[in-house]
Structure 1
């Protein structure tokens, strides 16, 4: 059973790898000339963010099972949960900002929200990098 949860956990981590690319992809939105092109690209980022949130839930649940079967330090477990919750909160806020930017199909709202979308993308990327590092080198 442990192997099944490990597989789900790794699969979730691979799906969440999108958050390492998201800062670079978010910076490309403004490089697109037309508002409709920006709208379409941002729509794809919104869908990928939703998939990343689903992967986060899968990784959190499968990781919870695996932690119950192995001796990890309390500090490591607290750090892991706090970082996972931080990613969950920030991706929710990011999804809200993208949704607000996508209210106008012509792309009129995008420019007003791009600063916060880029900032949240960078913060999510950094936190996800910390999560991967923490998982690879438990103490």
Structure 2
């Protein structure tokens, strides 16, 4: 059973790797000329964010099972949970900003929300990098 949960955990982590690319992709939204092109590209990023949120839940639950079967320090467990919750909260806020930006199919709302989308994606990328580092080097 441990191997099944490890597989799910790694698969979820690979899917969440999108959050390392998201800051670079979010910066490209403004580079597109037309509002409809921005709308389409942001719509793809919104869908990928949803998939990343699902992967976050799968990774969190499978990791919880694996932690219950192993011996890790309390500090490591607290840091892991806090960072996962931070990613969950920030991706939820990011999804809300994207949803508001996507209300106009001509791309008129994107300019008002792109700054916060880029900022949140950078913070998410940094936190995900910290999570990967914490998972690779447990103490």
Fold similarity call, TM over 0.5: yes
Q: State the shift of 1:28 in Å.
A: 0.1
Q: State the shift of 1:118 in Å.
A: 0.1
Q: Distance in 1 between matches of 2:104 and 2:62?
A: 38
Aligned with 1:29: secondary structure? Answer: coil
Unpaired segments ≥5 residues, structure 1: none
Aligned to 1:11: 11
Q: Distance in 1 between matches of 2:26 and 2:106?
A: 18
Q: State the shift of 1:58 in Å.
A: 0.2
Deviation string 1:35-63 (CA, Å, 9 cap, x unpaired) is 00000000000000000000000000000
Q: Distance in 2 between matches of 1:65 and 1:111?
A: 42
Matches within 5 A, 1:57-68: 57-68=57-68
Aligned to 2:114: 114
Q: State the shift of 1:8 in Å.
A: 0.1
Aligned to 1:48: 48
Q: Distance in 2 between matches of 1:120 and 1:26?
A: 10
Q: State the shift of 1:11 in Å.
A: 0.2
Q: Distance in 2 between matches of 1:12 and 1:106?
A: 34
Deviation string 1:78-122 (CA, Å, 9 cap, x unpaired) is 000000000000000000000000000000000000000000000
TM-score normalized by the length of structure 2: 1.00
Aligned to 1:76: 76
Q: Distance in 2 between matches of 1:110 and 1:59?
A: 31
TM-score normalized by the length of structure 1: 1.00
Q: Distance in 2 between matches of 1:128 and 1:5?
A: 20
Q: State the shift of 1:126 in Å.
A: 0.1
Q: Distance in 2 between matches of 1:24 and 1:90?
A: 17
